[in-house]
Structure 1
Amino acid sequence: MTLRHRLSALALALSAFAPVAAGAGDHCREVDHLSETYTVCTFDPALEAIRIYGVPEGTTQPATYAALRDRLRDDREALIFGMNAGMYHPDYSPVGLLVEDGKERSPLNLSDGEGNFFLKPNGVFYIGHGTAGVMETGAYAAARPQTIHATQSGPMLVIDGAIHPRFLPQSDSLNIRNGVGMLPDGRVAFAISRRPVRFHDFATLFRDRLGCRNALYLDGSISSLYAPEVRRNDRLAQMGTVVMVVGTLPY
């Protein structure tokens, strides 16, 4: 092995211990936190088209990344990023709020119940004109910020800088999880774990590693990602609500 090759091998070995490993594209990267690895993708709502999509009314078929790509292609648009974005009923209709292109397709859910969605406080991820936010459900209901797209899910992971009070640092409930948080500069951070993790560790990823004061859990049993820039296409994913970033086809 030449000296050049030895130096290249050493550089690769050292990069494995870097706190944040650079990804293959401009938006997504691998982040190491508490001995686990997460894919984190960040987007600026002032510069990029972030949308939320629910399955069409009157259908009971799930959303898939392949179907979304086909739908966008008809409008000469491209799917840049996709992630499941909310919990749904057996017919794939949303459990909570869904706003799509300014139309409220499902109302805000303030009721109590069983399951992660109702592990209060839960919250809303919304997109306005060049802005986005994550708010606890009660705060969203009171403020009613400008909203073009929105999805409600639960539980909140981080609320005003505090970890959800029901999360246990030593919990044995492990799952692959995905969520969304707001970075201090106004960008949106989407994250998904590579392996099963507990709620508490996932929440500290957003608060302590990414610096998010507010973050929302999206799901765990169907967590999926579409991010071609890191060669990720969970093509078997079947979803009720999807968050996506859309670009224009080059031809």
Structure 2
Amino acid sequence: MKTRTRILSALAALLLPVAGHACETITFEGRGYAVCEARTGEDLRIFQTAPDGRPFGSFTRVNNALRGEGKRLAFAMNAGMYHPDRSPVGLLIEDGVQRKDLVVGPSDGNFGLEPNGVFCIGDRFRVIETRAYAADPPACRFATQSGPMLVIGGALHPRFLVDSDSRHIRNGVGVRADGQTALFVISEEEVTFHEFARLFRDVLKTPDALFFDGSISRLHAPELGRDDIGFPLGPIVGLVVDR
């Protein structure tokens, strides 16, 4: 009964009109999550390559670069797995320029837990399974590939276990069915893949969702008082607004 109440409370909060570029915290099955929302028509970008040609690596460096445009980050988080040199593991499109090719087929770690997928920012938001993307690539101004998929056409990834003992801080993105809203989530506590995916499917109502990363996951959300720090990051997704 308590779990049902928490779910209904979370749904009610998400259905309220959103003022500005809201990030909020919700509770699902006794665990906390931060949820940030972006809508089509807003300036959502993926940041990888700084003006000096090196990876941005941090929210601070992104904000410093945006200052010259009179802009800032409303929120941001890491957006996909990367190699030790901070280059992306999979597809990366940055302002229409493809920086890294799509990776199709077996690979290492969570990224290789197929099916994996692509988050695409174009005329609408999309989370697309990798092989579907390869068969019919949409027009993406920005895109990042990661894995595994969390939710695929309303179903959880088939390899997620209800009783898994693998728990980490995790973050990812889900897209609502109309493609007009993307929801970016980071857990405040260690969670399993199954728990994290069910949040997207059952509470946030996103029929498709993609895992970004675990353990190193970080969030910049000034309205929540968060500017997480740590080791340098690879791709970063962020909502850009006027200063």
| TM score, norm. by length of structure 1 | 0.86
Match of 2:190 in 1: 196
Q: What does 1:212-231 correspond to in 2, within 5 Å?
A: 212-231=206-225
- Following superposition, the deviation at residue 221 of structure 1 comes to 2.1
| Structure 1 pair 204–16 and aligned structure 2 pair: CA distance change class (3 A) | closer
Percent identity (aligned): 46
CA apart distance, 1:237: 5.2
Question: d(CA) in 2 for partners of 1:126 and 1:61?
Answer: 20
Shift in Å at residue 238 of structure 1? 2.1
1:206 is matched with 200
171, 176, 180: which is aligned to 2:173? 180
Cα separation, 2, equivalents of 1:59 and 1:193 = 32
What is the match of residue 148 of structure 2? 155
Q: Which amino acid aligns with 2:184?
A: F
Question: Aligned pair in 2 of structure 1 residues 58, 228: CA closer, same or farther (>3 Å)?
Answer: closer
Gaps of 5+ in 2: none
1:184 CA displacement: 3.3
Matched residue SS, 1:169: coil
Please name the residue that 1:29 is paired with.
24
> What amino acid does structure 1 have at the position aligned with 2:143?
A
Aligned to 2:172, the other structure's residue is in SS state: strand
User: Could you tell me which residue of structure 1 aligns to residue 78 of structure 2?
Assistant: 84
1:19 aligns to 2:12 (yes or no): no
Matched residues in 2 for 1:96 and 1:61: separation?
15
The alignment partner of 1:239 has SS state of coil
- Give the match's secondary structure for 1:147: coil
Q: Deviations over 1:39-82 (max 9, x none)?
A: 11111022x11101114498666611111110000122111111
Identify which range, 155-164 or 70-79, moves more after superposition: 70-79
Q: How does 1:30-179 map to 2 (within 5 A)?
A: 30-46=25-41, 48-56=42-50, 63-129=57-123, 131-179=124-172
Displacement, 1:19?
2.2
Does the Cα contact within 8 Å between 1:60 and 1:92 map onto a contact in 2?
A: no
Structure 2: how far apart are the matches of 1:243 and 1:117? 18
Query: What RMSD, in angstroms, separates the aligned Cα atoms of the two structures?
Result: 2.2
CA distance, structure 1, for counterparts of residue 7 and residue 134 of structure 2: 43
Deviations 1:179-228 (A, max 9, x none): 00012342000000000000000000000011110000000021000111
Q: Which residue identity lines up with residue 194 of structure 1 in the other structure?
A: E
Asked whether the 8 Å contact 1:102–1:148 carries over to 2, the reply is yes
- For these two proteins, the number of residue pairs brought into alignment is 233
Given that 1:25 and 1:230 are in contact with CA atoms closer than 8 Å, whether structure 2 keeps it comes out as: no
- Rg larger for: 1
Does the aligned pair in 2 maintain the 1:62–1:92 contact within 8 Å? no
Q: CA deviation at 1:33?
A: 1.0
Distance 1:25 1:232 in 2: 19
Stretches of structure 1 that go unaligned for 5 or more consecutive residues are 1-14
The worse-fitting range, judged by mean Cα deviation, of 136-145 and 118-127 is: 136-145
Corresponding letter in the other structure for 1:163:
L
Q: Following TM superposition, by how much is the alpha carbon of 1:25 offset from its aligned partner in structure 2, in angstroms?
A: 6.3
Structure 1 distance, partners of 2:44, 2:163, is: 35
TM-score by length of 2: 0.89
The whole-number CA distance in structure 1 between the counterparts of 2:113 and 2:79 is: 17
Q: 1:19 aligns to what SS in structure 2?
A: helix
| Counterpart-to-counterpart distance in 2, 1:170 and 1:57 | 46
